[in-house]
């Protein structure tokens, strides 16, 4: 052909490479670079890199890399992916890792480029660690663990990658188990290990393990590390020890924004809105830079304490005084503040003022407020938006069905359940964890799998008798309408929270505080029952659900029935 344009030449470079004619592919590329043909463009660089990688020609690869920088193609994701593949196949692990870290949004192709290059060298410790990390970023935890287990020499970095990966993906029990295995392997942890395992403890509510890790921190003199100290504050707050969290907070001389945020967030989780507000103003006075997370934490605290006026003022000041444009999470907090306070019309007006599509979290927040205040009309509007934008989320169908049931609109509740059934959706099973003598025990509703089940159910029956004498009546409004009232009561009586509390009463000395952790929002009946149990047994019961902490003492909850 007398004339060849860039498209034709790039096609030949790419096609020859795919046909394993690597030298010929590189030959055409060299002619283009020398000026014998059309100019090299981004596609040319992308097309030739696979051929260079297959030949493992490191020198030529460096030349192509330099050319990409010179021509301004360096930041292109496909160019970076090609270079990653090149360096990893040439054994330049550090260079490949550096480039991998420069990709803002890593897709499957860039991750696979790293994996393909490393597979042949998986026995090398640094390669194994890098490969494990990539699998974790792809959320392929089974592949990550397999690579980790097959490594001939596990480095501290590889242990940290796996523990952190488990914690970040919500596999907290696996994170704790691996950390314990690491201890038995006599591998000394570093601050990265500690922050990861504390995160797992916080998610799991494993206070005793968190306290043991705290002792490990002291013995290794990690106390001065600000990130470790902040992780400790977060752990204690999320495990129910807000007083210990504050004590640690006060002991840190040079607090950063993350430390302040952790403490404010902790107060919000416990429903201590006024304390959170006071701390927020102290943070402003201290000169510590505020962040979007700061405002998210304080708005969340306001929403769980009914501080409507204060929340509105802070929301306005975020943009006016601090230059932060509200994002979806901030807007959702404002809807929550208004909705929980029963100001559903104001919440709707606020949503209408949000530019563009408000988004699923905001409509979800509004639907939750409708459940609290039994507003079927607004709930119907919110649920329609949610069923359209996120049709696979069973939680919205359950919530809407419960709202209809509370309003005695049983045909509406049945219709919503039927839609969910047609879409093959299933409800997330509720479960409650209680830790006794450093050992976790998990219960589900109607669970008979525990070795002490007979004693637990007997204790529950004894408690029900005492509670009814004190005035307790089971809350059955949201139960199935086609079930007899007596059966409804039996259903709510064996919820996982009650089983865990009964087991806790059997397994601890009188006067001992009972701590339970629920994966979902605590139901109205269990909330009411827990207040009565605290009164008839003279025990303090601390419950953490998906939203916040509840402290039941002498028949009263710390949330003031506002949750």
Per-domain boundaries in the chain? 166-254, 255-307, 327-427, 431-557
| 94 has pLDDT over 80 | no
Mean pLDDT estimate for the chain: 86
Asked if the model's pLDDT at residue 506 lies above 90, the reply is: yes
Other CB atoms within 10 A of residue 151 CB: 19
- 131: confidence class by pLDDT, cuts 50, 70, 90: low
* pLDDT surpassing 50 at residue 484: no
pLDDT class of 477 with cuts at 50, 70, 90: low
**pLDDT value at residue 108:** 57
Per-residue pLDDT tens over the stretch 266-301: 999 998 999 999 999 999 999 999 999 999 999 999
Q: Write down the pLDDT at residue 148.
A: 85
First to last CA, the chain: 76
Average pLDDT over residues 174-182: 92
Question: If 0-12 CB within 10 Å is exposed, 13-18 middle and 19+ buried, where does residue 370 land?
Answer: buried
SS (HEC) of 7-29: HHHHHHHHHHHHCCCHHHHHHHH
Looking at residue 490, its pLDDT comes to 59
Mean pLDDT within 4-24 = 89
Of the two residues 2 and 267, the one the predictor is more confident about is: 267
Output the CA torsion 298→299→304→307 (10° steps): 100
356 against 308, higher pLDDT: 308
pLDDT at 503: 96
The angle subtended at Cα 116 by Cα 113 and Cα 121, nearest 5°, is 130
pLDDT surpassing 70 at residue 32: yes
> What is the per-residue pLDDT for 38?
85
Confidence band (pLDDT; 50, 70, 90) for 117?
low
Q: Are 401 and 410 in contact (CB under 8 A)?
A: no
Q: What average pLDDT does the segment 242-247 reach?
A: 95
Looking at residue 260, what is its pLDDT? Answer: 96
What pLDDT was estimated at residue 505? 96
Q: Are strands 514-518 and 541-544 parallel, antiparallel or unpaired?
A: parallel
Q: Would you state the pLDDT for residue 485?
A: 42
The residue count of the chain comes to: 563
Looking at the predicted structure, is the pLDDT value of residue 127 above 80? no
Q: Alpha carbon of 93 to those of 88, 130, 415: distances in Å?
A: 6, 8, 57
Dump pLDDT digits (tens) for 252-269: 988 999 999 999 999 999
**The overall pTM is greater than 0.75:** no
Which residue pairs, CB below 8 angstroms and at least 24 apart, start in 356-362? 358/328, 358/331, 359/328, 359/332, 359/389, 360/386, 360/389, 360/390, 361/328, 361/329, 361/332, 362/328, 362/331, 362/332, 362/335
Grade residue 483 by pLDDT with cuts at 50, 70 and 90.
very low
Lowest mean pLDDT across 33-42, 315-324, 335-344, 361-370:
33-42
Q: Are 330 and 315 in contact (CB under 8 A)?
A: yes
Q: What is the pLDDT of residue 486?
A: 45
Question: Looking up tokens 């002619």, which residue turns up?
Answer: 31
pLDDT exceeding 70 applies to what percent of the chain?
A: 90
CATH top class, domain 327-427? mainly alpha
Q: Give the pair of three-digit tokens for residue 24.
A: 């010929």
Q: What is the mean pLDDT of residues 359-383?
A: 90
pLDDT value for 288: 93
Provide CB contacts within 8 A for 72, sequence distance 6+. Answer: none
- Predicted confidence band at 520 (pLDDT cuts at 50, 70, 90)? confident
Q: What is residue 215's predicted lDDT score, i.e. its pLDDT?
A: 93
Output the pLDDT for position 85.
79
**Average pLDDT of the residues in 28-47:** 88
State the pLDDT at residue 195.
Answer: 92
Q: What is the pLDDT of residues 404-437, one digit of tens each?
A: 888 888 889 889 989 998 888 887 788 999 989 8
516 and 206 in contact (C-beta within 8 Å)? Answer: no
Of 44-48, 90-94, 106-110, which one has max mean pLDDT? 44-48
Highest average pLDDT, of 56-65, 124-133, 290-299, comes from 290-299
Coil, helix or strand at residue 516: strand
Residue 541 CA to residue 225 CA, distance in Å, equals: 34
Give the pLDDT of residue 333.
94
Q: Is the pLDDT assigned to residue 126 strictly greater than 70? A: no
């Amino acid at each position: 052909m007398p004339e060849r344009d860039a498209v034709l030449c790039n096609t030949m470079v790419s096609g020859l490479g795919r046909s394993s004619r690597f030298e010929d592919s590189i030959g055409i590329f060299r002619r283009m670079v020398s000026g014998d043909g059309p100019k090299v463009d981004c596609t040319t660089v992308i097309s030739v890199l696979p051929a260079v990688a297959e030949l493992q020609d490191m020198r030529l690869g460096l030349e192509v890399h330099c050319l990409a920088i010179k021509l301004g193609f360096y930041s292109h994701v496909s160019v970076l992916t090609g270079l990653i593949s090149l360096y990893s196949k040439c054994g330049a692990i550090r260079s490949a890792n550096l480039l991998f870290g420069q990709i803002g949004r890593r897709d499957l192709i860039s991750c696979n480029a790293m994996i393909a290059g490393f597979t042949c060298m998986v026995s090398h410790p640094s390669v194994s660690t890098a490969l494990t990390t990539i699998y974790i970023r792809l959320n392929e935890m089974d592949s990550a663990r397999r690579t980790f287990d097959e490594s001939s020499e596990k480095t501290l970095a590889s242990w940290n990658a796996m523990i952190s990966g488990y914690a970040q993906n919500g596999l907290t029990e696996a994170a704790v188990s691996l950390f314990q295995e690491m201890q038995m392997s006599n591998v000394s942890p570093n601050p990265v290990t500690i922050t990861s395992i504390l995160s797992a403890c916080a998610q799991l509510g494993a206070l005793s393990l968190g306290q043991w890790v705290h002792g490990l921190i002291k013995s290794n003199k990690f106390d001065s590390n600000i990130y470790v100290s902040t992780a400790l504050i977060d752990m204690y707050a999320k495990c129910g020890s807000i007083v210990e969290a504050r004590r640690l907070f006060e002991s840190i001389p040079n607090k950063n924004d993350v430390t302040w945020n952790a403490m404010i967030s902790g107060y919000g989780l416990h429903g201590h809105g006024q304390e959170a507000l006071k701390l927020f103003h102290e943070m402003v006075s201290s000169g510590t830079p505020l962040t979007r997370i700061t405002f998210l934490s304080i708005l969340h605290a306001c929403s769980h304490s009914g501080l409507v006026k204060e929340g509105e003022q802070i929301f306005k000041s975020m943009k006016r005084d601090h230059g932060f444009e509200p994002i979806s999470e901030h807007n959702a907090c404002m809807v929550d503040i208004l909705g929980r306070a029963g100001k559903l019309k104001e919440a709707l007006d606020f949503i209408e003022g949000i530019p563009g599509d408000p988004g699923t979290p905001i409509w979800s927040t509004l639907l939750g407020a409708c459940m609290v205040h039994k507003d079927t009309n607004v709930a119907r509007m919110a649920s329609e938006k949610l069923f359209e934008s996120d049709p696979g989320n069973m939680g919205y169908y359950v919530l809407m069905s419960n709202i209809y049931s509370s309003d005695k609109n049983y045909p509406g509740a049945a219709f919503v359940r039927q839609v969910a059934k047609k879409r093959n959706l299933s409800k997330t099973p509720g479960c409650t964890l209680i830790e006794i003598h450093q050992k976790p025990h998990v219960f589900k509703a109607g669970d008979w799998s525990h070795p002490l089940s007979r004693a637990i159910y007997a204790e529950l029956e004894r408690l029900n008798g005492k509670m009814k004498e004190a005035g307790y009546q089971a809350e059955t409004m949201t139960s199935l309408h086609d079930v007899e009232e007596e059966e409804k009561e039996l259903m709510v009586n064996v919820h996982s929270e009650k089983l865990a509390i009964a087991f806790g009463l059997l397994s601890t000395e009188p006067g001992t505080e009972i701590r339970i952790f629920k994966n979902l929002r605590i139901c109205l009946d269990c909330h009411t029952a827990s207040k009565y149990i605290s009164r008839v047994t003279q025990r303090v019961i601390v419950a953490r659900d998906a939203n916040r902490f509840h402290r039941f003492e002498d028949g009263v909850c710390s949330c003031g029935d506002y949750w």
